[in-house]
Amino acid sequence: MTTGPTTIRPEEDAYAGLMPTAVWRHFAALNRIPRPSGQEAAARFYVQRVADAAGYPWKTDARGNIVVYVPGRAVGAGAPALAVQAHLDMVCEKRPEVVFDFTKEAIRAVRRGDRIYADGTTLGADNGIGAAMALALIDDADVAASAHGPLELIFTVEEETGLLGAQALDTSALPLQSRLLVNLDSEDPGELTIGCAGGGSATIRLPLTTAPAPVGAVAAYTLVVSGLSGGHSGVQIHEPRANAIKLLSETLTSLQSAGLPFSLIDVDGGSAHNAIPRDARADLLLAPEQIAGFEAAVARAAAEIVARWSADEPGLQIETRPAAAAASPAVALSDDSAARLLALLRTLPHGVLAMSASLHGKVETSCNLARVRREDDQTAVLLMSVRSFRNESIRTVLADIAATAQNLGATTEIATGYPGWEPDPESPLLALIRTLYERLHHTPPVVEVIHAGLECGVIVAHVPGMEAISFGPLIRGAHSPEEYVDIPSVATTWTLLTALIETVAKPS
């Protein structure tokens, strides 16, 4: 079944002529819809409209997950059902100079050769391309003409904030017949993913006290760390990518070590729990006679840090700028509060904590110092995200974080997060997809586990006995403004998916 020819709107020029048509049409439509985590209602309504146009039933649960039920075609009554799953939300990151409201504006796509980027923001290919493929199974003409078993298309919400939609999936409201699950949230077309790390988080709250600004005239300055690569805090945590919050705290510590007095007003950095911080800033108060020494000390510290990271973070900048007059409050943090906050930023862990002893070359446990904010005049809030293939390691790291916070006068709220997905190398579903992959590509796929959260493990826990696998097109730079999707790989992934739905329906 098709919806007829599609007129390419001006903002969709980047998608013009791309194949498969239905996939790119739905991706373009999703990228016209603002869909931050927790605000997926409009995207869900789009899924409903596509299903209604095809005459297929759908159901939603209280969290906002939706399942579209596509009946089998030209197969016997015993053909197994296949679940195909993607999430509707996206990470909302932009370059500092870009003015963009993710709650109101459409993503501006740009085509560069065989890649689709966004103009200064995340693209949302994670997981918009996967959702577009699931939608295309509803109205692609070739799929509608093929023989396939029943399909259950699962669209989840709030994946990027801790797999919250999948964790709340209500299988009584959304009954699933499938015992075979394909997740379309992987980012390398040469890999079949069969396992993933679990995760947890810690929210640290540090009580603050304030003190009057130093007597006499003061100058407000902002110290800014910017231009870092950022990226996915699971997939790219082992890469040499700097954390802007850590570099900010290092610079401030260097200023203290140089004996330069300043009063700390505010610290702000990072965004999402699953994004390595790209930018951070600190607002400071200085006496006018300290400005020259301050700028010289920052220049020395910045030169050393930038030189150390020059090969891996060529865009790194550490600079000062005078703050606006409105940013010159009469009070700053007390010396004690400032010292505690900076000590937290220095001592909390970030990066790879342990490599796997059984999975060669794989990160076993990691931590992302993801965000710091002043919530109000009385509290600084820090967010830590922990991942591991070992649940006990997650608990241990979170307990260590809580102990560090307590020693510095802060409290910690721990969220247990989501379970890992235990790999099953003997899965019949894996064997089938491996055979199809080799037939299509004339080379074997890489069978992989990843140090990131996938919804497979959560959904499998809801449906005992379900087998799962994850694959997808080539996506790089996810969770950062450098995100792109490789155009040819979308077509090859679609070919594998459609071959699978036809093959699963055939009698063995």
What pLDDT score was predicted for residue 326?
A: 45
Whether residue 377 contacts residue 208, with contact meaning beta carbons closer than 8 Å, is answered with: yes
- pLDDT higher than 50, residue 2: no
| Active-site position among 89, 126, 448, 455 | 89
Task: Calculate the alpha carbon distances from 303 to 296, 306, 318 in Å.
Answer: 11, 5, 8
What is the mean predicted confidence (pLDDT) over 192-219?
A: 88
The predicted pLDDT at position 453 comes to 84
Strand partners, 387: 199, 366
For the segment 381-399, what is each residue's pLDDT rounded down to a tens digit? 999 999 998 889 999 999 9
Q: 99-108, 112-121, 286-295, 485-494: which has the minimum mean pLDDT?
A: 286-295
Q: What angle do CA 81, 82, 84 make, to 5 degrees?
A: 145
Instruction: List the catalytic residue out of 12, 93, 139, 159.
Output: 159
Quote the pLDDT of residue 12: 57
pLDDT at 328: 52
Q: Does domain 199-418 fall into CATH 3.30.70.360?
A: yes
pLDDT > 70 fraction of the chain, expressed in percent and rounded: 95
CB atoms within 10 A of CB 379: 14
Q: Give the residue-averaged pLDDT of 198-218.
A: 86
Q: Which two tokens stand for residue 343?
A: 């000590």
Rounded CA separation 226/315 (Å): 8
- Residue 111: CB atoms within 10 A of its CB come to 16
Q: How confident is the model at residue 6 (pLDDT cuts 50, 70, 90)?
A: very low
Q: Over the stretch 42-61, which tens digit does the pLDDT of each residue have?
A: 999 999 999 999 999 999 99
Give residue 314's pLDDT. Answer: 97
Whole-angstrom Cα distance, residue 71 to residue 101?
Answer: 39
Give the model's confidence band at 324: pLDDT under 50 very low, under 70 low, under 90 confident, else very high: low
Q: Is residue 268 annotated as a catalytic residue, yes or no?
A: no
Token pair of 121 as six digits: 């923001």
For CA atoms 156, 158, 163, 167, the dihedral sign is: negative
Residue 412's identity, in one-letter code, is T
- Whether residue 431 is predicted with pLDDT greater than 90 in this model: the reply is yes
Residue 454 has pLDDT above 80, yes or no: yes
Q: How far apart are CA 388 and CA 451, in angstroms?
A: 7
Q: How many CA atoms lie within 13 A of 429 on its CB side?
A: 24
DSSP annotation string for 84-98: EEEE--B---B-TT-
pLDDT value at 165 more than 60: yes
Rounded distance, CA 58 to CA 279, Å? 42
What pLDDT shows up at residue 8? 36
Q: Which residue has the higher pLDDT, 417 or 166?
A: 166
User: Do the bridges between strand 475-476 and strand 484-486 make them parallel or antiparallel, or are there none, so unpaired?
Assistant: antiparallel
Architecture of domain 10-197+420-504: 3-Layer(aba) Sandwich (3.40)
Give the DSSP H/E element, type plus range, for residue 299.
Answer: helix 291-309
Tell me the β-bridge partners of 90: 36
Contact 30, 46 (CB under 8 A): yes
Domain ranges of the chain: 10-197+420-504, 199-418
Q: Comparing 121 with 425, which gets the higher pLDDT? A: 121
| Residue 119 designated active-site | no
Residues 115-144 have pLDDT tens digits of: 999 999 999 999 999 999 999 999 999 999
Q: How confident is the model at residue 7 (pLDDT cuts 50, 70, 90)?
A: very low
- pLDDT tier at 94 (50, 70, 90 boundaries)? very high
- In this structure, which amino acid lies at residue 181? L
Amino acid at 199: G
Q: Where are the alpha helices (DSSP H) in 324-475?
A: 335-347, 391-407, 428-441, 456-462
What type of residue sits at position 279? Answer: D
Contacts 24+ apart (CB under 8 A), 17-20: 18/487, 18/490, 19/491, 20/136, 20/140, 20/490, 20/491, 20/494
Helices (H), ranges, 13-124: 21-31, 41-54
How confident is the model at residue 348, as a pLDDT? 98
CB 38 within 8 A of CB 158: yes
DSSP state of 7: P
Q: Which of 5-14, 218-227, 303-312 has the lowest mean pLDDT?
A: 5-14
pLDDT tens-digit map of 329-338:
667 899 999 9
What tokens does 101 get?
Answer: 């409201």
